[in-house]
């Protein structure tokens, strides 16, 4: 109770600081707590020390709070109903009354009056001022307006905002009517700010995101406000403004050349953009509503660009950096066609930007790469380290998206972001992970298999790819998320149209690992120690081992099966089947240029198949024709020569190249034939290696059996000595003789089996004296 009361007091203090009215419920709680504390005080003697101490603390808190609100609490206790009515007095009805006073009145005569219809009724106390419109009755161009009445109505609406029994829709309607009768720039700015704030109010418990109608209306009003500020440079909306009277009209003067109204355009842009993203997260990505909502990105992008132009003119650097980052986030991960479509939808005002003058008429000829570069260079100069980091990551992502791998890689390494990103916020870490993945995909598209695998290894090693990319919640085996944690994870996820396809990502990683691991495993030639030391992808090794243990292997059913069977085909030298299995994976259609990617994969499989073949059969051949190898794997002769030369240079293949004869001289087989069977330099074949492993395991089994036998015999001796008791020395000697005889294989009961222990002893002796025993003895 004490904790909840502290929260209540803090909320009341916050309302006082913001000049808001404390609700009547606060005084109800305060009055009831006073009575409860007084009642509990009578039973204090029956309480333990802990409860008594807590009661004393609560009593002091209640008394302190009562002193701070003594007058209001006394009024509530005197007449609670009257007190509640007095709090709810400034309502929308008062705003409507003030609004009626501010409206232009109908004139019945005068030389400037145009009476269209004597029996026309007033429209809620308002008249449309203008000449020549049927049903309008008022002064054309000279309609009297009361600015004081507008400000009173605006104040009444603002005071009623957020109170109990306040109709939000009625407030919005009132503010729209106020905007219709506002004549001066200052009045319009004040009313628009209040109207946007009212439109942004909604209950998150009822709606997970802002209603579309309210969002669209708020965005339109914000565009109107920005256009008004661009047209009237002597008026400004800023967070920090000098104190001024809300009920007085303000105009530029010598003392106040720029009229500053308290507000924040940047905060409104951020709120609308966040609400747009939140709605995309909440909608079903496979429904038509998601596509319809995604079309609104054009209008919110235009609003962001207009705000950028405004802040460039007012030279508000902090706010300018924020909206520039918002603009980058809308276009950094999109293809050029989408970026050009967004640029073409901008108003003509966007051409006034000094950072990047967007011309909608020439959007089809613009370069999105240059646009991203200009925006990011602006943020590289900011003092905000978070914005600099996010701009750098977005810039790298965009370069990787356009297959400029080396520029993206150099920027990522030179920025040293991998050393500091662990201290960044969650959103920046997600952007870093997405950038790393996109760089890996870029390397794969360019045929840089080793670079692609090493880049993606960092993400796949965690086995939490979906969570790291903010594309879903990965189910953990031994942990359970609370509802609050699940809600936070869902809010942290990216909209569906920004997702990187996880199936494509996994296939790229597995195919890259296959092209690196299969030649490496062939080079190790079954040497377990070498296989353990030289591991590129443990994930791929584990999957391949599991596939090799399967007794029955059917046709591939999923993408992993395709890659595993392709790896087996590559190990046996069947590169054509490997190519067919890899090309049969359907996710390649998600690549920008599917045909080029498939051609690259076929070429890489041929090259790695050649390397695997040489590693596997190098100890069998003495020479190999380059033309034979070229025809075997359908590679150009120059490519085959280059691959063999590189293997010789790297000392992975003990051979030499005879370019005159066009053959490869394999030194391992030549040395084996020249040195004979007794040479120490002879290469050990795979069969010989398996035989040696069998001998080692047999020797180990023999040692373990002998140790086990000795342990059992020693336990039997101890039991025999305990049972022997007071028996004579002759019997003791006889038993000792029998035990010694049994140890040497004699057996106590004769025959082929012998006595207890006799068969074991005899078996050991026979095994050690046999041919296999002599083989495994050390």
- Listed in sequence order, the residues at least 6 apart from 175 whose beta carbon sits closer than 8 Å to its beta carbon are 154, 157, 191, 194, 195, 198
Q: Which of 300, 327, 296 is nearest to 398 (CA)?
A: 327
Q: What integer pLDDT is reported at residue 758 of this predicted model?
A: 44
d(CA 465, CA 581): 25
| Residues 579/605, Cβ–Cβ less than 8 Å | yes
| 32-41, 209-218, 549-558, 751-760: range with highest mean pLDDT | 209-218
* Residue 631 CA: distances (Å) to CA of 515, 574, 637: 21, 14, 8
DSSP state at residue 334: S
pLDDT digits (tens, 9 = 90+) for 263-312: 999 999 999 999 999 999 989 999 999 999 999 999 999 999 999 999 99
Band (pLDDT 50/70/90 cuts) for residue 156 is confident
Higher pLDDT, 744 or 70: 70
Which among 456, 324, 412 is positioned nearest to 404, based on CA atoms? 412
Partnered with residue 255 across adjacent β-strands are: none
What pLDDT score was predicted for residue 478?
Answer: 65
Q: Which of 243-257, 466-480, 691-705 has the lowest mean pLDDT?
A: 466-480
Query: What's the rounded Cα separation, in Å, for the pair 500 and 606?
Result: 29
Which CATH code is given to the segment(s) 622-683?
Answer: 1.10.10.10
Residue 762: per-residue pLDDT: 44
pLDDT given at position 683: 60
* Residue-wise pLDDT tens digits, 322-381: 999 999 999 999 999 999 999 999 999 999 999 998 888 888 888 999 999 999 999 999
As separate numbers, helices (DSSP H) first and strands (DSSP E) second, the chain gives 36, 7
Amino acid 526: pLDDT: 64
- Are 610 and 518 spatial neighbours (Cβ–Cβ below 8 Å)? no
pLDDT in tens, 176-232: 989 988 889 999 999 999 999 999 988 776 778 888 999 999 999 999 999 999 999
The pLDDT of residue 97 = 52
- Give the whole-number percent of the chain exceeding pLDDT 70: 80
The C-alpha atoms of residue 376 and residue 372 are separated, in whole angstroms, by 6
Q: Residue 400: is it exposed, middle or buried by C-beta count within 10 angstroms (0-12/13-18/19+)?
A: buried
Contact at 8 Å (CB) between 403 and 442? yes
745: phi then psi, degrees, rounded to nearest 5: 95, 10
Q: Give dist(CA 321, CA 388) in Å, integer.
A: 10
Would you say residue 699 has pLDDT above 70?
yes
Tokens representing 551?
A: 């007794």
pLDDT over 70 at 728, yes or no: no
Residues in the chain: 778
Query: Exposed, middle or buried, 364 (CB in 10 Å: 0-12/13-18/19+)?
Result: exposed
Q: Are the CB atoms for 747 and 755 separated by under 8 Å? A: yes
- Look at residue 765 and tell me whether its pLDDT is greater than 90: no
Q: What does the mean pLDDT of the chain come to?
A: 80
CA atoms within 13 A on the CB side of 702: 21
User: How far apart are alpha carbons 682 and 671 in whole angstroms?
Assistant: 7
Tell me: the pLDDT tens digits for 29-75? 878 887 787 777 777 777 777 777 777 778 777 877 877 777 777 88
List the chain domain ranges.
2-75, 384-498, 501-617, 622-683, 687-711+760-778
- Residue 297 and residue 495: Cα distance in Å, rounded? 12
Q: What is the pLDDT of residue 723?
A: 60
Mutual orientation of helices 594-617 and 426-445 as an angle, nearest 10°?
70
Read off the pLDDT of each residue in 381-391 and give the average, rounded to a whole number.
Answer: 94
Is pLDDT larger for residue 84 or for residue 595?
A: 595
pLDDT of 735 above 60: no
pLDDT of residue 120: 39
Q: Could you give the 3-state DSSP secondary structure of residue 264? A: coil
């Amino acid at each position: 109770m004490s904790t909840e009361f502290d929260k209540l007091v803090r909320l009341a203090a916050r309302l006082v600081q913001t000049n808001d009215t404390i609700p009547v419920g606060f005084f109800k709680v305060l009055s009831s707590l006073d009575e409860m504390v007084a009642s509990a005080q009578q039973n204090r003697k029956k309480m333990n020390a802990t409860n008594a101490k807590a009661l004393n603390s609560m009593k002091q808190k209640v008394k302190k709070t009562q002193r701070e609100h003594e007058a209001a609490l006394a009024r509530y206790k005197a007449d609670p109903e009257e007190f509640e009515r007095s709090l709810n007095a400034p309502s929308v009805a008062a705003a409507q009354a003030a609004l009626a006073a501010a409206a232009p009145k109908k004139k019945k005569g005068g030389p400037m009056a145009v009476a269209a219809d004597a029996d026309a009724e007033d429209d809620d106390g308002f008249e449309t001022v203008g000449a020549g419109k049927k049903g309008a009755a008022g002064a054309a161009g000279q309609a009297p307006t009361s600015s004081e009445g507008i400000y009173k109505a605006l104040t009444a609406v603002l005071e009623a905002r957020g109170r109990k029994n306040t109709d939000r829709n009625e407030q919005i309607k009132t503010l729209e009517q106020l905007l219709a009768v506002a004549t001066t720039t200052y009045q319009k700015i004040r009313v628009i700010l209040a109207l946007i704030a009212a439109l942004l109010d909604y209950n998150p418990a009822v709606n997970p995101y802002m209603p579309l109608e309210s969002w669209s209306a708020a965005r339109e009003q914000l565009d109107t406000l920005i256009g008004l500020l661009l047209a009237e440079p002597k008026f400004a909306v800023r967070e920090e403004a000098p104190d001024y009277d809300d009920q007085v009209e303000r105009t530029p003067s010598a003392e106040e050349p720029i009229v500053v109204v308290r507000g924040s355009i940047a905060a409104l842009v951020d709120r609308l953009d966040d609400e747009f993203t939140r709605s995309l997260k909440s909608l079903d990505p496979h429904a038509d509503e998601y596509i319809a909502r995604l079309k609104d990105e054009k209008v919110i992008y235009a609003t962001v660009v207009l705000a950028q132009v405004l802040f460039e003119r007012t030279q508000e650097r902090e706010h300018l950096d924020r909206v520039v980052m918002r603009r980058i986030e809308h276009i950094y991960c999109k293809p050029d066609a989408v970026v050009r479509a967004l640029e073409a939808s901008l108003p003509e005002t966007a051409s006034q930007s000094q950072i990047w003058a967007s011309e909608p008429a020439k959007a089809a000829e613009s370069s999105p790469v240059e646009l991203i570069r200009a925006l990011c260079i602006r943020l590289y100069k900011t003092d905000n380290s978070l914005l600099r980091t996010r701009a750098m990551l977005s810039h790298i992502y965009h370069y990787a998206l356009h297959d400029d791998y080396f520029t993206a890689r150099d920027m990522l390494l030179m920025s040293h972001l991998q050393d500091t990103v662990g201290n960044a916020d969650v959103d920046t870490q997600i952007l870093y992970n997405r950038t790393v993945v996109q760089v890996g995909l870029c390397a794969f598209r360019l045929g840089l298999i080793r670079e692609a695998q090493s880049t993606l290894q960092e993400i796949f090693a965690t086995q939490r790819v979906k969570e790291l990319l903010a594309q879903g919640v990965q189910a953990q085996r031994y942990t359970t998320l609370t509802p609050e944690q699940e809600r936070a994870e869902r809010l942290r996820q990216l909209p569906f149209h920004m997702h990187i396809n996880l199936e494509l990502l996994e296939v790229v990683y597995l195919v890259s690992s296959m092209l690196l691991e299969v030649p490496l495993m062939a080079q190790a030639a079954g040497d377990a120690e070498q296989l353990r030391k030289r591991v590129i992808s443990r994930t791929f090794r584990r999957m391949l081992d599991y596939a090799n243990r399967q007794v029955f292997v059917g046709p591939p059913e999923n993408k992993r099966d395709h890659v595993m069977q392709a790896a087996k085909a590559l190990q046996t030298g069947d590169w054509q089947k490997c190519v067919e299995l890899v090309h049969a994976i359907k996710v390649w259609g998600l690549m920008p240029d599917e045909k080029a990617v498939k051609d690259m994969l076929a070429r890489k499989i041929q090259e790695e198949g050649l390397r695997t073949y040489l590693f596997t059969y190098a100890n069998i051949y003495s020479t190999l024709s380059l033309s034979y190898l070229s025809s075997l794997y359908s590679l150009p002769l120059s490519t085959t020569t280059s691959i063999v030369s590189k293997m010789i240079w790297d000392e992975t293949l003990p051979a030499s190249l005879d370019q005159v004869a066009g053959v490869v001289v394999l030194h391992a087989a030549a040395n084996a034939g020249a040195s004979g069977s007794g040479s120490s330099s002879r290469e050990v074949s795979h069969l010989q290696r398996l035989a040696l492993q069998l001998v080692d395991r047999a020797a180990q089994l023999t040692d373990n059996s002998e140790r086990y036998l000795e342990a059992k015999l020693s336990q039997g001796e101890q039991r025999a000595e305990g049972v022997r008791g007071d028996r004579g020395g002759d019997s003791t000697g006889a038993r000792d003789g029998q035990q010694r005889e049994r140890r040497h294989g004699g057996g106590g009961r004769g025959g082929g089996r012998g006595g207890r222990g006799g068969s074991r002893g005899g078996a050991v002796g026979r095994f050690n004296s046999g041919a296999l025993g002599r083989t495994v003895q050390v």
